[in-house]
A and B are shown apart, each in its own frame.
Chain A
Amino acid sequence: MFQLSLNFLLHNKTRTFLTTTGIAIGIIVFLMLSAGATGTIQRSLNLYRVQSACDLIVMNKEFTPQQITSIQKLDGIDIAEPAIIEKIAIIDNFYDIIALPRYSTLFKIPFPEYRTILVPNFLSQRWKIEDNSVIEVTYVTPEKRKTVSLPASVFSSKNTDIPLRAIIDLKTGQDLFGIYANTILIRVNPTADINVLKQKIKNIVGNCDFQTYEDIFNTVKEKNQNFLIFKTIITEITFFIAGIGILNEMLLSIEGQKREIGILKSIGFTSGQIVEIYLTQLVILGILGTLLGIPLSLFMIKVIYGTLEYIQFFDIIIGITLSFFWIFLFAFYPLYKAKKSSVVDCLKRTQQ
């Protein structure tokens, strides 16, 4: 069967060329888009890493100054700073209040810069907040009630893209929330094992939550979910278009090959064996398309993105699987037609 399929493919050079090209184009588009998506995630992550300046966040109800000092002394920790992250409600909106040390080593930008924090414009208009005005914020828990005055500037901004968040200095935060810190922002030494460090920190502070670089990565990835969906749709459309070409080509080919099908059937080939011949041809075409598509994709990704690090082995596997899926899906109807062809009908065509 293989030899026969190969002979048919070599004989129908145009069909072989067009189908192989279709498959290769499908794979190229998929891998290019995958590389694009991975590149976007990677770049966002790098940006986030630079901006966030820390790669491990430890959270608990409360940390004491002694605990933080002990953590700062751990091997593998470059910087560890106390912080408070809390939610407060102003009217119907929740704000993340982030309290950081005024002269943070982690955040190189001088602290006052962070005071230009953002709230929706309507709030500014309604309250007519002036830069030098003061807002009284009351923090209420079942145990305590505390009111502090915060400069209005921490809530005001022309920019509304960033979620409701206010950064204040740690001392004000400690005064407002009545705790020393509930978060430790850590920069880990690149040579250190983050899992070992997590265990050591747990030994010092007891139960606590961690947010690591991987968690951030996943968050960024989730945010890129829409792009991934877009990529999949575009790829599917590409394969669909390539598939229509394959379908058309297969139908034409089967019309053209009805004679051969008739001959094979008259010799004694069963319908199943004829389908097998066609499927073998498709597998050969799929392999050829893959062998052509993958090196070309890698070349184009290298040229366009300047690196191959955005392409993942898993994407290549998915690309190949998708291309085979579409090929077989589109080949199904022509194969069905081939299977159902009557011998007499096929042979009559010869004489027309």
Chain B
Amino acid sequence: MNNIIIETVDLTKIYTMGSEKIAAVDHVNLTVERNEILTIVGPSGCGKSTLLGLIGGLDKPTSGHVIFEGKKLPSSEDKLAFFRRKNIGFVFQFYNLLPALSALDNVKLPLKLLKIPDKVADERSKEILERVGLGNRFYHKPGELSGGEQQRVALARALITKPVLILADEPTGNLDSKSGDQILKLIQQMNEDYNQTFIIATHDEKISKIADRSIHLLDGRIVCSS
């Protein structure tokens, strides 16, 4: 089995702002191995989030392409949605939980899309929420949870379908250091327990410490890899 999970080939994303063209991601060639924790670091506006979006199929490249488990990402919106549903878990800086739903329902949502029976989905969601330390917060809505707790719910939601790849965009960027540490610990645990691959865009040097590898991005280009 090929050990490379993600490969980007000359991946480029150009935004047009008025008459100016800005390359947010500029001919990026990158390979990520299975079970790896990779961090993408760089200053604000260097293209970290855009690169994550392209890898996760949230955005389409201007040129180049992404190869996931040996296959090019599909181009149609619906196929990309199915791809994300099956293979990718997202964690965002601002948690991005649905405010209308409880923690349990937020976590259950990806399972519903996979048509997992409600009872099974319920059990699995409770199990993972307990795993991230929110066993007493099942029925709380996001507004009733702290930032750290919300991010743990978001992590649980990203992990619930056991996707092979987790893309995290500044997962600790909005948290205090204690909550940030808890999230990092969870990421490490999940990586070890479920052999999941993590690509994390971050400013946080602590995350780089737990990473297997880091790439530095500047003006949309990889300037160094360590």
When chains A and B are docked, how far (Å) is the Cα of A306 from the Cα of B78?
57
A residues within 8 A CB of B82?
268, 270
> Which residues in window 72-108 of B have CB below 8 A to A?
77-78, 81-82, 84-86, 90, 92-94, 96-101, 105
B116 CB–A CB distance under 8 Å: no
Dominant SS among interface residues on chain A: helix
* Chain B residue with Cβ nearest A1: B112
The reply to whether B100 and A8 contact each other, CB–CB distance below 8 Å, is yes
**Inter-chain contacts of A8 with B (CB < 8 A):** 100
Q: Tell me whether A265 and B81 are in contact in the complex, defined as CB-CB below 8 angstroms, given that A11-B100, A344-B53, A344-B58 are known contacts.
A: yes
> Is the CB of A351 closer than 8 A to any CB of chain B?
yes
Least Cβ distance of A327 to chain B in Å? 21
- Tell me which of A11, A263, A351 contacts B97 (CB under 8 A): A263
CB–CB A347/B78 < 8 A: no
Q: Are B84 and A271 in contact (CB under 8 A)?
A: no
Check if A231 is an interface residue, CB within 8 A of chain B.
Answer: no
Contact of A350 among B84, B86, B96, B113 (CB under 8 A): B96
Interface centre among A12, A263, A266, A271 (most CB of B within 10 A): A266
A342 to chain B, nearest CB (A): 7
A339 nearest CB neighbor, chain B only: B77
Q: How far is the CA of A342 from the CA of B77 in the complex (A)?
A: 10
Given A266-B84, A267-B85, A267-B110, A272:B78 Cβ within 8 A:
yes
Contact code string A319-347 (vs B, CB < 8 Å = 1, else 0): 00000000000000000000000111001
| Interface check B59, CB cutoff 8 A | yes
Chain B residues with CB below 8 A from A342, complex form: 59
B211 at the interface (CB under 8 A from A): no
Inter-chain contact count A-B, CB under 8 Å? 68
Distance (whole angstroms) from the CB of B97 to the closest CB of chain A: 7
The distance in angstroms between the C-alpha atoms of A79 and B86, with both chains bound, is 85
Q: Is A260 at the interface (CB under 8 A from chain B)?
A: yes
A260 touching B77 in the complex, CB below 8 Å, given contacts A267-B109, A270-B82, A347-B58: no
- Which residues of chain A from 9 to 26 have any CB-CB distance to chain B below 8 Å in the complex? 10-12
Q: How far is the CB of A154 from chain B (nearest CB, A)?
A: 79
Given known A-B contacts A268-B110, A270-B82, A271-B78, A263 and B96 have beta carbons under 8 A apart: yes
Hey, which chain B residues are within 8 Å of A262, CB to CB? 96
- For A299, list chain B residues within 8 Å (CB): none
A7→B59 contact, CB < 8 A: no
Question: For residue B57, which residue of chain A has the nearest CB?
Answer: A343
Nearest CB to that of A271 among chain B residues? B77
CB distance B113 to A269 under 8 Å?
yes
User: Is the beta-carbon distance between A350 and B94 smaller than 8 angstroms?
Assistant: yes
Cβ of A221 < 8 Å from any Cβ of B? Answer: no
Distance from A126 Cβ to chain B, minimum over Cβ atoms (Å): 81
Q: In the assembly, what is the distance between CA of A267 and CA of B154, in Å?
A: 11
Give, as a whole number of angstroms, the nearest-CB distance from A68 to chain B.
Answer: 79
Chain A residues with Cβ below 8 Å from B110 are: 267-268
Q: Mark A264-286, 1 if CB is under 8 A from B, else 0.
A: 11111111110000000000000
B93 contact set on A, CB distance < 8 A: 351
Q: Is B99 within 8 A of A350, CB to CB?
A: no
Which B residue's beta carbon lies closest to that of A12? B100
Q: Which B residues are in CB contact (< 8 Å) with A344?
A: 50, 53, 58-59
User: Considering only CB atoms, which chain A residue lies closest to B83 in the complex?
Assistant: A268
Please state if A270 and B100 are interface contacts (CB–CB under 8 Å): no
For the complex formed, measure the closest distance between the CB of A13 and the CB atoms of chain B, giving whole angstroms.
11
CB contact list, A141-167 vs B, under 8 A: none
Contact call B100/A347, Cβ cutoff below 8 A = no
Are the C-beta atoms of A260 and B98 separated by less than 8 Å? yes
A255 vs chain B, min Cβ distance (A): 15
Q: Are B78 and A259 in contact (CB under 8 A)?
A: no
- In the complex with contacts A270-B77, A351-B94, A7-B105 CB distance below 8 A: yes
Q: B94's closest neighbor in chain A, by CB? A: A350
Taking the closest CB of chain B, its distance from the CB of A14, in whole angstroms, is 14
Q: How far is the CA of A7 from the CA of B100 in the complex (A)?
A: 6
> A350–B92 contact, CB under 8 A?
yes
Q: In whole angstroms, how far apart are the Cα atoms of A344 and B78 in the complex?
A: 16
B58 adjacent to A343 (CB under 8 Å): yes
Give A336 Cβ to nearest chain B Cβ, in Å: 14
Query: Assuming A263-B97, A267-B157, A268-B85, what are 11 further A-B pairs, CB within 8 angstroms?
Result: A7-B100, A266-B84, A267-B90, A268-B82, A268-B113, A270-B77, A270-B82, A271-B78, A272-B78, A344-B50, A347-B58
B residues contacting A by CB (< 8 A) are 50, 53, 56, 58-59, 77-78, 81-82, 84-86, 90, 92-94, 96-101, 105, 109-110, 113, 157
| 7 A-B interface contacts by CB (under 8 A) | A8-B100, A265-B81, A267-B113, A268-B113, A271-B77, A344-B58, A344-B59
